[in-house]
Amino acid sequence: MWRYHTINTIRRYGAINGLTTETYETLHKNWVKNPYRISNKKNVLDQIIKTVSYKLFLDIFVYFFNFKKKNQLNVILIIIRFVDK
């Protein structure tokens, strides 16, 4: 009985969040496929990890610097600790 309700709901409102793979396909593309393509195909895992780390570092850096000007010193210290790990 629940199948008929689900089918009508999907037709009316679109895919149910828990039943769509689009989000995970996008994440896989952005975090695995694109870094693989820009690697030289030698020692790929290390290159992917380095690329993803740099991307994450830049995302955090931009987010915090756009957050508040008065917290810039704290942000710089957080980023330095993150990079040193």
4-39 pLDDT tens trace = 667 777 788 777 666 667 778 888 888 899 999 998
Q: How far apart are CA 12 and CA 22, in angstroms?
A: 19
Tokens of 36: 């693989």
Residue 3's contacts (CB-CB under 8 Å, 6 or more residues apart) are: none
Tokens of 51: 């690329």
pTM: 0.53
Domain ranges of the chain: 21-84
Q: How far apart are CA 37 and CA 66, in angstroms?
A: 30
Q: How far apart are CA 26 and CA 24, in angstroms?
A: 5
Whether the Cβ atoms of residue 57 and residue 83 lie closer than 8 Å to each other = yes
Identify the residue with better confidence: 2 or 20.
20
